[in-house]
Chain A
Amino acid sequence: MNRTVLRLLKRLGFYALIAVVLFYAIFPFYYAVVTSLKPSSELFRVDFWPSSFDLVNYARILGEKSFVRAILNSILVSFSVVFIALLLGLTASYALGRVRFRGRTSVLLIILGVSMFPQVAVLSGLFEVIRVLDLYNNPAGLVLSYTIFTLPFTVWVLTTFMRQLPQELEEAAIMDGATPWITITRVFLPLMWPAMATTGLLAFIAAWNEFLFALTFTLTDDQRTVPVAIALISGGSQHELPWGPIMAASVTVTVPLVVLVMIFQRRIVSGLTAGAVKG
């Protein structure tokens, strides 16, 4: 009797905890969705349940050319960053994980060290670099700076993963006449999907949400990315913050992220190397 009550209480506590965590994690986003669906007249009434289903905010946002343009810029920049970071990360991790050379550990430590710097610390230096390369107010400048910040993490994770792949697999490929490039792309890559998906996703999120560089390195509306565009959405007057459209814009740009995570979480499974070695 006593034991059953205790077990019930434990159960209850467990689910209560889950509820708290879920609420904590989801509520802000939920509230953003609810707000985005309200017309501006009802904006400051606190409603916990969707009281209306008004798409006017979405219409306004998507009707604005500069916002659509910002989304396209964000897509271009984020995908480029992911592609470049994974390509460089994969090849670098092959060198760092599979090739023995002097100073390998130091290189890895330097890579890790570089990723510790706060963005602001390199902002002015990076600005000079971008000016010299003539990439100011150009999405390519953002791709360059995001890649710099994403690459250390990507290289680090992929190297760790690459090291765990069996040595004999690589040697078998060599005996089959594979060059390092073929070994990477046709033997290792298919086995690295979990790591690639994870790092790629994180790189994508970082690039998609980045604000500081995006604000500093762009000038005109048609070169901006989404986070900056959202921040610059202005209301009817100087004293009005247009919460409705801001919320609608935020939801619009977050949905792709959620969808991406949903798709790739299936890929983020280990055990893909099963069957390579032993019985």
Chain B
Amino acid sequence: MGRLTLTGIGKDYDGVEVSRDIDLTIEDGEFVVFVGPSGCGKSTLLRMIAGLEEISRGEMCLDGERLNETPPQERDIGMVFQSYALYPHMTVAENMAFGLKLAHADKTEIKQRVDTAARTLQLSPLLDRRPKALSGGQRQRVAIGRTLVKQPRVFLLDEPLSNLDASLRVEMRVQLAELHRRLGATMVYVTHDQVEAMTLADRIVLLSGGRIAQVGAPLTLYHFPESLEVAAFIGSPRINTLPVTVIDPGRRRTGVQLPNGEPLPVAVDGSHLTTGETATLGIRAEDFVAPDAADALLKGRLGVAERLGYETLAHIEVNGADGTITQRLDRLAHLEPRQATTLGLSGEQCHLFDAEGRACPRQVTLPGVAA
């Protein structure tokens, strides 16, 4: 079992609050990813769970048992560090066995567990090597193996892939997902790479300024962000934003006026808004529709076109927009330099955020995505 409950957790460093009001339940076997911009308190929260950092406020329970005062090694929680932190003078096998040895585990038991972990992580041929004779990816696997042998109830991983190069990262990502599927253990994973977050997580916890901005399934955060902050953090390229004026607040549809004067009925509950209020319209790069099927049109001129191979990102200069608007196009889309472009907007595909950045609840249903 490994059901982790955090209630009102907070952390002060010398009187400065770096983490606050964290209420979160992580179910047994769940893969939860903490994401957020640098300095938002991801590592701090993870280290509090591990016991490396004292919890200033709130309560943390594992399977119903309060752990605030329990020292790290007695928490039955394993941690994989960003820099791997392998013991350089020990072989791979010794690195993995160290914790068990300190716990006075039986010799044959240790050997068996190390062998099993090594097989799982494809480290068997490397057991007698020292860390400096390993590649980055192998070191990473040893770091995971060191935690694995202890069979903890909860695994904590702090940006475990950030020191690897891009292709190795993709490979390790898949291996991690596979490992989680096989172990069925609870895993808490910190990253600022949203691709890792989207692909690995059962649920994403988006942190911002030490608070939880939103918790939910990856697609929920993507399609139903509760704030502009979340919408802007999840998704690459970043969501497009346009300043708009509310002209017709409503429960099912909220009419807004675009910078070019065109009206657009957005499928959100904007009943708490008032007419004349300014708001922010959000549209993801792939959510533009054909002009003849659109509810409103935006005219602009093509700036830079980025050919990524599998798709094309067109950056379009539109009057009144904050910066350029990014449109996702087919990989072979035909584009002339500085060509005139018309963007079709559909009210169903847009997000609306009030002046404080809170999202107006979208009034659409998407198959397989919980709102």
Contacts and interface: CB of A to CB of B under 8 A. Distances in A.
Partners in one complex: yes
B82 interface: yes
Interface in B31-72: 50, 52, 72
Given A175-B99, A176-B99, A177-B73, A273 B88 contact: yes
Contact of A275 (B52, B72, B73, B133): B133
A175 B82 CA distance: 14
Interface in B76-99: 78-79, 81-89, 98-99
A99 to B, nearest CB: 14
Nearest to B130: A275
Contacts of A182: 102
Contact of B134 (A191, A272, A275): A275
B308 to A, nearest CB: 27
B87 A276 contact: yes
A166 B85 CA distance: 8
A190 interface: yes
A276 B85 contact: yes
Interface residues of B, number: 31
B130 A168 contact: no
Given A175-B73, A177-B102, A278 B52 contact: no
Nearest to B103: A177
Contacts of A12: none
Interface residues of A, number: 24
Contact of A168 (B82, B89, B102, B147): B82
B107 interface: no
A200 to B, nearest CB: 18
A39 B73 CA distance: 70
Contacts of A168: 81-85
Given A182-B102, A275-B130, A279-B163, A169 B72 contact: no
A262 interface: no
A176 B147 CA distance: 9
A18 interface: no
A171 B87 contact: no
A272 B88 contact: yes
Contact of A274 (B82, B132, B164): B132
Interface in A168-209: 168-169, 171-178, 182, 186-187, 190-191
A176 B102 contact: yes
B86 A276 contact: yes
A277 interface: yes
Contact of B50 (A175, A274, A279): A175
Interface in B96-124: 98-99, 102-103
B85 A176 contact: no
A178 B71 CA distance: 11
B235 to A, nearest CB: 30
A39 to B, nearest CB: 53
Contacts of A174: 52, 72-73
Nearest to A169: B85
B131 interface: yes
B98 A191 contact: no
B82 to A, nearest CB: 7
B81 A275 contact: no
Contacts of A276: 83-88, 131
B87 A169 contact: yes
B135 interface: yes
Contacts of A279: 135-136, 139, 163-164
B50 A275 contact: no
Nearest to B140: A279
B117 to A, nearest CB: 14
A167 to B, nearest CB: 9
25 contacts: A171-B79, A171-B81, A172-B79, A172-B85, A172-B87, A175-B50, A175-B52, A175-B78, A175-B147, A176-B98, A176-B146, A177-B73, A178-B98, A187-B87, A190-B89, A272-B89, A274-B88, A275-B88, A275-B131, A275-B139, A276-B86, A277-B83, A277-B84, A278-B83, A279-B163
Given A177-B103, A278-B163, 19 more contacts: A168-B81, A168-B85, A171-B52, A171-B79, A172-B79, A173-B98, A176-B102, A178-B73, A182-B102, A187-B87, A274-B132, A275-B88, A276-B83, A276-B86, A276-B88, A277-B83, A278-B83, A278-B136, A279-B136
Q: Please name the 6 residue pairs, one residue from A and one from B, whose CB atoms are nearest each other, closest first.
A: A275-B132, A279-B136, A177-B73, A275-B131, A176-B99, A277-B83
Interface of B: 50, 52, 72-73, 78-79, 81-89, 98-99, 102-103, 130-136, 139, 146-147, 163-164
